[in-house]
Structure 1
Amino acid sequence: MYIASVVLAVIIGTVATLARPTPQARPVSKTISLERRGGHTRHAANLDHLIANLDRVAFKMHRTLDNYEDNTGSPFPGQKTASQRKRDLIEKRSSMIHKRAPATHGLELQDIADGMWWAGNVSVGTPPQTFEVDFDTGSSDFWVTGKDCLRCQTPLKYDPHSSTTAVDASRNFTIRYGDGTSYSGPVWRDTVSIGNLVAEHQAVGAVDNTSPMDDSAAADNIWSLMGMAWPSLSRSGNSTFMNTLSSGNDIPTSQFSFSLDDDSAELFIGGVNPNKYQGEFIYVNTAQDFWRVHTGGLSLNGRSLNMTGAGEAIIDTGSTATLGPSTVVRELYSQIPGAKNLSEVNQTYDSFSGWYAVPCEFSDTVSFIFGGVTFDIAPEDFIELGQVSTNSTYCIGGIIAKDDLPSEYVLYVLIILLQTHNLPGTLT
């Protein structure tokens, strides 16, 4: 059953018009900034990073489907059981590369690895221990680097024994990714804060064991993550940070929003920053698992592309690109002048099925449709992944074909407001 509402603003950097929400009583606004380092400067794409990220996105989706089944006792709507999907994935893996007055808070975020992660500071424990944390709307668990993690190449490690508010939850967690990496360790309950927002007794996974990571991933030093999706997808089965704040009336409205623009990216908790949008909001329904919404599909220069069945999209800040069904993606690129399969531009990538390249002078308008309203992707944003190679006249297209996902599309959204109705115990 669809209960919550999702408000979309900007998709892949494109400014869209939004509706102003109902004013809240005496909100205290504060910003959490995010820094975008890449911008629109022409650059060669780091395909190793892109592939690793998109593989992790796909397996993250499947992992959270397992969590949903564990938490609800039923398979995710429209999906196979966990055991069936596990068999499928094994077959495919061999071929894969203190409570306070209600307040709002804006957190500055930093772009890590050309937009693969959007990170900001989160404090855990008493006295506070601060971590740079990736905020991910495509998952629902919160974990940080534990003090006993030998492989974790970061000096920022959580020591629960140094926190007067830490309580051992007497259980462990394990998270595995499709690229072979995994994270595991004990679960603690402690005070977690972002600026002036404080969640007490929040579940925190302390990563003490990891599998080997490739050098590029280790160099990015992302060893902590806060999932912003719904509790039904939590591996640890715990309340999320946002759900804890909402249930305790610590925020004036159960909303959060991301603005991932080039100059002043931020996560805003408890509403939306009025300086980050203009115009009218568009509201659409969302499920209570992923931030999963209905979409009218894709259009190119105002012409709708054919879709089979009801389209859905998952709003995921943890994805570098937009992923979509191969039939629709193929049709999209067939109508873009000069577009080619990536392997036709560079034979090094002859195994990159579903990847396309377009001329770097790309000027067409690709759009998504939500709530009957069209949201345009600026051409420069569509090719932001970069050139196929140094000095190439071809750039990688921003929509990649992938069929084994729990929804038709996975969107990388640059300004988004997510909210639920005032239901006890629900996540914003």
Structure 2
Amino acid sequence: MKAMFRAPFFCTLVLSLLTRAEDIVPQTITLSSRVAPAGKSLKRRALSPENIPLADFFKGTDLQWFGNITVGTPPQDVTVVFDTGSSTLEFASTLCSTCASQIQFDPDQSKTFVNGGHTSTITFGTGVGVDPVIGDNYQLQLLNGTDTVSVGGLSSPNVPLFLITEQTPTFDIDPFSGIQGMSARAQGFFAALIARGLPSLFGLFLTPLAVGNAELTIGGFDQSKFSGDLTFASQAGHGATWELASPSIAVNGKTNSVLKTKRTIIFDSGTSNVLFDTDTANAMYAFISPEIQPNPAEPGTYGIACDLIPTLPAVIDITFTSQQGKPFNLTIPSTELSVGPFANNASLCQTLINAFDGLELVGGSLLKHYYSVWDVGNQRLGFAAV
């Protein structure tokens, strides 16, 4: 299933720190214990953070990171992408005749499953990895319900979820069963755990396949996975979307009036490539190579002869502002420029930046070069070099 920015309204949407260390005054997350007033006891015991190993779906480039959860009583294994670009939990079920390639949850085998009886259809705005969406070729039909969900050693009863009852063939390549949304407004199992005392943040270590050991830390972050200090920036919005304000972009150290436009950029761990409006995409490619041109066979994509890719510098610096008012850069290196040959032309390689008017988004191609902390309670994002 796709862990991607969805079409509006169901939904949830859907680069080393190059700024010198002396220009950044990082703020670190401090977790403090609660002290009970004299003569009283705490009504709940705080839960401890849990580390969940993540596997990398690799198809010429890193596409998705996914891990195991369990659903039901007795528990059934389900694999999901932990997706910061969505809010809900949905996964393949035995009710789905078109989900044969994924692990399927059997609601009849769970004594705690409650069928909500409501069906719905969602269409995604981006596909898995780098494939563009054309019409409704990324679409799911769902049945709502509730059940017990466990992640690592943490468990919550009566969690709202959706069973996939039908999916389009574009989902067939997915090695995972579904999506667990991890939006900026805690919902579902995460909200239930926070209510029981779990700290309201999580850390992501999304590594390239060659590095391995990718990890999600629920309720905290793993300081052994990064060097130096975390730099935090405040959420730009007040909704469920993880997004930061950016005053400028530079490509290969160069910028122009289009790239200096103030914009809000979404951070989506469930999307692999980069989406900018058409003018911005064209301005960025102008600093890389005039040979990079739109590919009309797949609207919104660009390409260049594969044998030219190694000769092209394509360092993308996106500037943000820390909570201390200091600018810092998140950088996508040149190694991310190519996302592999087009299906209709093996000699033409698709390049990283897609044109998508009305949406500006970065995903795994940026995040895998940093350790990231998603602080729901304090509404901020943190980054550190790995």
TMscore range, shorter length: 0.7 to 0.9
Specify the alignment match of 2:262 in structure 1.
310
Question: Is 1:367 equivalent to 2:317 in the alignment?
Answer: yes
What secondary structure sits across from 2:374 in the alignment? strand
Measure, in 2, the Cα distance between the counterparts of 1:391 and 1:180: 22
Would the alpha carbon gap of residues 339 and 281 (structure 1) be closer, same or farther in structure 2, given more than 3 Å must change?
farther
Aligned length: 320
Contact 1:254 1:420 in 2 (8 A): yes
Specify the alignment match of 1:66 in structure 2.
none
What secondary structure sits across from 1:169 in the alignment? strand
Would the alpha carbon gap of residues 422 and 137 (structure 1) be closer, same or farther in structure 2, given more than 3 Å must change?
closer
Flag the structure with higher helix content: 1
What secondary structure sits across from 1:132 in the alignment? strand
Specify the alignment match of 2:376 in structure 1.
420
After superposition, residues 82-161 of structure 1 pair within 5 angstroms as 101-114=46-59, 115-154=62-101, 156-161=103-108
Contact 2:102 2:175 in 1 (8 A): no
Would the alpha carbon gap of residues 306 and 246 (structure 1) be closer, same or farther in structure 2, given more than 3 Å must change?
farther
Aligned-pair identity (%): 23
Measure, in 1, the Cα distance between the counterparts of 2:189 and 2:342: 39
Would the alpha carbon gap of residues 382 and 247 (structure 1) be closer, same or farther in structure 2, given more than 3 Å must change?
farther
Any stretches of 5+ residues in structure 2 without a counterpart? 1-14, 34-43, 125-134, 322-326, 380-386
For residue 351 of structure 1, report the CA deviation from its aligned partner.
5.9
What secondary structure sits across from 2:54 in the alignment? strand
Question: Is 1:268 equivalent to 2:217 in the alignment?
Answer: yes
After superposition, residues 218-229 of structure 1 pair within 5 angstroms as 218-229=172-183
* Amino acid in structure 1 at the alignment position of 2:141: S
For residue 298 of structure 1, report the CA deviation from its aligned partner.
1.2
Q: Which structure has more RCO (C-alpha within 8 Å, separation ≥ 6)?
A: 1
Question: Is 1:330 equivalent to 2:282 in the alignment?
Answer: yes
For residue 330 of structure 1, report the CA deviation from its aligned partner.
1.1
Would the alpha carbon gap of residues 199 and 15 (structure 1) be closer, same or farther in structure 2, given more than 3 Å must change?
farther
Contact 1:125 1:191 in 2 (8 A): yes
Would the alpha carbon gap of residues 155 and 363 (structure 1) be closer, same or farther in structure 2, given more than 3 Å must change?
closer
Instruction: Give the alignment's TM-score, normalised by structure 2.
Output: 0.73
Any stretches of 5+ residues in structure 1 without a counterpart? 1-10, 27-98, 233-238, 344-348, 424-428
My pick for the range that moved more, 350-359 or 183-192, is 350-359
Aligned pair partner of 1:162 in 109, 113, 137? 109
Would the alpha carbon gap of residues 181 and 377 (structure 1) be closer, same or farther in structure 2, given more than 3 Å must change?
closer
Question: Is 1:22 equivalent to 2:45 in the alignment?
Answer: no
Measure, in 2, the Cα distance between the counterparts of 1:187 and 1:120: 22
Measure, in 1, the Cα distance between the counterparts of 2:107 and 2:97: 17
Would the alpha carbon gap of residues 400 and 182 (structure 1) be closer, same or farther in structure 2, given more than 3 Å must change?
closer
Measure, in 2, the Cα distance between the counterparts of 1:279 and 1:155: 40
Contact 1:174 1:184 in 2 (8 A): yes
Would the alpha carbon gap of residues 205 and 112 (structure 1) be closer, same or farther in structure 2, given more than 3 Å must change?
same
Q: Which deviations, in whole Å up to 9, do the C-alpha atoms of 1:39-96 show, x marking residues without a partner?
A: xxxxxxxxxxxxxxxxxxxxxxxxxxxxxxxxxxxxxxxxxxxxxxxxxxxxxxxxxx
After superposition, residues 184-263 of structure 1 pair within 5 angstroms as 184-208=141-165, 210-214=166-170, 217-230=171-184, 239-249=187-197, 251=198, 253-262=199-208, 263=211
Flag the structure with higher strand content: 2
* Amino acid in structure 2 at the alignment position of 1:273: D
Measure, in 2, the Cα distance between the counterparts of 1:100 and 1:184: 39
Question: Is 1:298 equivalent to 2:249 in the alignment?
Answer: yes
For residue 323 of structure 1, report the CA deviation from its aligned partner.
0.7
For residue 322 of structure 1, report the CA deviation from its aligned partner.
0.4
My pick for the range that moved more, 125-134 or 272-281, is 272-281
Question: Is 1:282 equivalent to 2:208 in the alignment?
Answer: no
Measure, in 1, the Cα distance between the counterparts of 2:90 and 2:45: 24
What secondary structure sits across from 1:332 in the alignment? helix
Q: Which deviations, in whole Å up to 9, do the C-alpha atoms of 1:120-171 show, x marking residues without a partner?
A: 1110112110011122211111012222222211463223332233333343
After superposition, residues 29-48 of structure 1 pair within 5 angstroms as none
Measure, in 2, the Cα distance between the counterparts of 1:422 and 1:283: 10
Contact 1:325 1:409 in 2 (8 A): no
Specify the alignment match of 2:361 in structure 1.
409
Question: Is 1:400 equivalent to 2:354 in the alignment?
Answer: yes
Measure, in 1, the Cα distance between the counterparts of 2:29 and 2:201: 12
